[in-house]
């Protein structure tokens, strides 16, 4: 069920992003925006659509925040891949934006993808109630900004030159910003759109986000670069503290499994309706890319 | 009157930005956000506050879009100054962010300033009516994104490697995006907040924005680097087409004066109430920095 819905999400998002970007013309910066936001697992968009479905929110509305979160995610990857950041040449098995075009285009395409993401959640098509749109926009900004994703990125970069490796608490805090905040926003978006209690989905997403990052650290050790679509072994080579270096491979796997169990339990108010989200949590720690 | 109001705006904005960024802590990326958004003429914030005043909108509300536009403007400058963009080492007489910190910090600080700008116009403090906040957010995104400011920046960069210099029409189109769109948003923000007709202020801002860019091109020729606070003569050295290279120095000055006259005339529905905005238009072409 989850795999089917994830594939459906991917097709819906591709079509949506194409439509939203159609009026932007074909300058290199716009082509780079299309390129950077194409492909990927669409896990964040799936979380938006699935939490919306759980709350009876129309997909025609939910596709807007789903598209927005994928744009924000794509912008962060384009900037993250820059030579002055992680300096990655490969993403999803393809050349990164600054390799295919140049750094200038990568900076501007990332900038404009962020802008378009915020436009998407404030547009009237996103939700009939403007208060919901304003809430989605403010919470998305908090998840993406200097108290969320950018904070995590900044801590990650500071860690590279820190005299001692990060502790487990510090890495958990870093991750909660870097990947956790956008995942939490995605999973709670449907509840926000229905003006329902976001607490169960927030608990689910917090555990899921941490499990996701632990799985990423495991993939960096055990993953196959061809399947992962980007370089692996970078963290070990850089001597960075990761969940694996701190917990050991078996300890990290056990911790990820426990988090997935907790994430599934947090969904009990939704009963069996949330089974696809439970499958998603199990997928996150079993994926090979 | 205008000079007094501009100084008042500067103090209000400094205090507002400090308050908005206070909860963000003191990581280098946050310090860089504060540094990059400090200082400057605050012309865009002035336009927001003045158009709000003209429409009886409370300053306690209008300070939010005024702060937002200064954050968006600051983000664009930080990224514009990067080595892969204009490669500028000096801004407002001080080292640019990537010189004072590094490129990584400059990319992230710019990113987070953009995010905070969008948060600012969607926050409940900005306006009691969420529909107004959503409108401000969507129009700001259109002004800043790939059909506005980023479009202008992309065209500007494309022009550097184009086989022939741009025509007057092309430069006018480029400028309308690069600096015109944010100026237009600023001047119309007050009317949007009052749900009033934005047409007169849009006409004013369109002429003002073009006059502003022509004045910038003149400053690049006639300006004193110490007063301008950044390198001058760069456009001529780069062989770029500018309003001065296309119209001549006298022609450019005459065109700027005509635009200011038109801008002032566009404000006739407001009578004498708009005299400070008229003064602002005259200032834009007489400034030395």
Three-class secondary structure assignment of B97-131: HHHHCCHHHHHHHHHHHHHHHHHHHHCHHHCCCHH
Identify the pLDDT of residue A251: 95
Q: Do A82 and B107 touch (CB under 8 A)?
A: yes
**Domains: count for chain B:** 1
Q: Does B123 touch chain A (CB under 8 A)?
A: yes
Q: Does B160 touch chain A (CB under 8 A)?
A: no
pLDDT tens for B240-287 read 889 999 999 999 999 999 999 999 999 999 999 999 999 999 999 887
Q: Give the pair of three-digit tokens for residue B184.
A: 């237009």
DSSP letter string, B186-241: HHHHHHHHTT---HHHHHHHHHHHHHHHHHHHHHHHH--HHHHSS--SHHHHTT--
Per-residue pLDDT, averaged over B185-208, amounts to 98
Per CB-CB distance under 8 Å, the chain A contacts of B145 are: 112, 115-116, 119
Over 80: is that where the pLDDT of B230 sits? no
Q: Does A218 touch chain B (CB under 8 A)?
A: no
Identify the pLDDT of residue B241: 86
Across-strand partners of A94? Answer: A91
Q: Do B146 and A116 touch (CB under 8 A)?
A: yes
Mapping DSSP to helix (H, G, I), strand (E, B) and coil, where does residue B164 land? Answer: coil
Per-residue pLDDT, averaged over B43-48, amounts to 98
Classify residue B2 by burial, with Cβ atoms within 10 Å: 0-12, 13-18, 19+. Answer: middle
Q: Do B118 and A118 touch (CB under 8 A)?
A: yes
Ranges of beta strands (E only) in B22-171 are 90-91, 94-95
Identify the pLDDT of residue B157: 86
Per CB-CB distance under 8 Å, the chain B contacts of A154 are: 27-30, 105, 108
3-state secondary structure A7-66: HHHHHHHHHHHHHHHHHHCCCHHHHHHHHHHCCCCCHHHHHHHHHHHHCCCCHHHHHHHH
Mean pLDDT of chain B: 94
Q: Does A99 touch chain B (CB under 8 A)?
A: no
Over 90: is that where the pLDDT of B237 sits? no
pLDDT tens for A109-132 read 999 999 999 999 999 999 999 999
Main-chain dihedrals φ then ψ at residue A264, nearest 5 degrees? -65, -40
Q: Which of residues 127-156 of A touch B (CB under 8 A)?
A: 129-131, 133-134, 137-138, 141-142, 144-147, 150-151, 153-155
Q: Does B159 touch chain A (CB under 8 A)?
A: no
Exposure string of B74-93, with b = 16+ CB inside 10 Å and e = fewer, is: bbbbbbbbbbbbbebeebee
- Tell me A127's DSSP state: -
- Which chain A residue has its CA at the smallest distance from B149's CA? A112
Classify residue B100 by burial, with Cβ atoms within 10 Å: 0-12, 13-18, 19+. Answer: middle
Over 90: is that where the pLDDT of A106 sits? yes
pLDDT tens for A220-262 read 888 776 666 666 667 666 778 899 999 999 999 999 999 999 9
Mapping DSSP to helix (H, G, I), strand (E, B) and coil, where does residue B77 land? Answer: helix
| CA-to-CA separations, A76 to A82, A182, B48, B130, in angstroms, rounded | 10, 11, 30, 28
Across-strand partners of B94? Answer: B91
Q: Do A137 and B118 touch (CB under 8 A)?
A: yes
Identify the pLDDT of residue B221: 85
DSSP letter string, A209-225: HHHHHHHHHHHHHH--H
CA of B161, closest CA in chain A: separation in Å?
A: 13
Per CB-CB distance under 8 Å, the chain A contacts of B177 are: none
Q: What is the CATH number of the domain that holds A64?
A: 1.10.600.10
Inter-chain CB pairs, A–B, below 8 Å: 150
**CA atoms of B187 and B52, how far apart (whole Å):** 9
Identify the pLDDT of residue B160: 84
Candidates A25, A65, A111, A117, partner chain B, best to mutate (most B CBs within 10 A): A111
Identify the pLDDT of residue A225: 67
pLDDT tens for B147-159 read 999 999 999 988 8
Domain that holds residue B109: 2-286
Candidates B68, B131, B146, partner chain A, best to mutate (most A CBs within 10 A): B146
| CA-to-CA separations, A98 to A110, B161, B202, B223, B225, in angstroms, rounded | 11, 17, 37, 35, 33
| CA-to-CA separations, B256 to A242, B109, B242, B283, in angstroms, rounded | 59, 34, 13, 11
Per-residue pLDDT, averaged over B138-163, amounts to 93
Identify the pLDDT of residue B134: 97
Q: Does B115 touch chain A (CB under 8 A)?
A: yes
Q: Which of residues 6-45 of A touch B (CB under 8 A)?
A: 23-24, 27-30, 33
Per-residue pLDDT, averaged over B168-180, amounts to 94
Over 80: is that where the pLDDT of B202 sits? yes
**CA atoms of A145 and A143, how far apart (whole Å):** 6
Per CB-CB distance under 8 Å, the chain B contacts of A104 are: 84-85, 157
Across-strand partners of A91? Answer: A94
Q: Do A122 and B119 touch (CB under 8 A)?
A: no
- ipTM exceeding 0.90, yes/no: yes
Query: Measured between CB atoms, which of A112, A154, A155 is closest to B145?
Result: A112
Q: Do B150 and A29 touch (CB under 8 A)?
A: yes
Cβ atoms within 10 A of the Cβ of A250, count? 9
Per-residue pLDDT, averaged over B202-217, amounts to 95
Q: Do A138 and B119 touch (CB under 8 A)?
A: yes
Candidates A26, A131, A141, partner chain B, best to mutate (most B CBs within 10 A): A141
Mean pLDDT of chain A: 94
Over 80: is that where the pLDDT of B143 sits? yes
Identify the pLDDT of residue A230: 66
Q: Does B114 touch chain A (CB under 8 A)?
A: yes
């Amino acid at each position: 069920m989850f795999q089917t819905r994830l594939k459906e999400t991917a097709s819906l998002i591709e079509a949506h992003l194409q439509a939203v970007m159609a009026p932007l013309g074909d300058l290199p910066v716009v082509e780079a925006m299309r390129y950077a936001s194409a492909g990927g697992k669409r896990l964040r968009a799936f979380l938006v659509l699935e939490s919306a479905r759980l709350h009876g929110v129309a997909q025609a509305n939910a596709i807007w925040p789903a598209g927005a979160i994928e744009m924000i995610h794509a912008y962060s990857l384009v900037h993250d891949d820059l030579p002055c950041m992680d300096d990655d040449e490969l993403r999803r098995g393809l050349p990164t934006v600054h390799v295919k075009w140049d750094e200038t285009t990568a900076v501007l395409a990332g900038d404009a993808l962020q802008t378009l993401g915020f436009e998407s959640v404030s547009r009237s098509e996103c939700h009939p109630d403007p208060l919901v749109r304003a809430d989605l926009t403010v919470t998305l900004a908090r998840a993406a900004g200097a108290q969320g994703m950018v904070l995590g990125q900044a801590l990650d970069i500071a860690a590279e030159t820190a005299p001692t490796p990060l502790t487990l608490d510090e890495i958990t805090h870093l991750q909660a910003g870097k990947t956790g905040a956008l995942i939490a926003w995605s999973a709670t978006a449907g509840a926000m759109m229905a003006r329902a209690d976001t607490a169960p989905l927030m608990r689910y997403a917090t555990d899921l986000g941490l499990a996701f990052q632990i799985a990423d650290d495991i993939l960096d050790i055990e993953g196959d670069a061809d399947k992962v679509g980007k370089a692996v072994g970078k963290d070990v080579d850089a001597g960075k503290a990761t969940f694996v270096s701190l917990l050991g491979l078996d300890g990290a796997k056990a911790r990820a499994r426990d988090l997935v169990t907790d994430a599934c339990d947090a969904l009990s108010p939704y009963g069996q309706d949330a089974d696809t989200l439970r499958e998603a949590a199990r997928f996150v720690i079993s994926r090979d890319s």
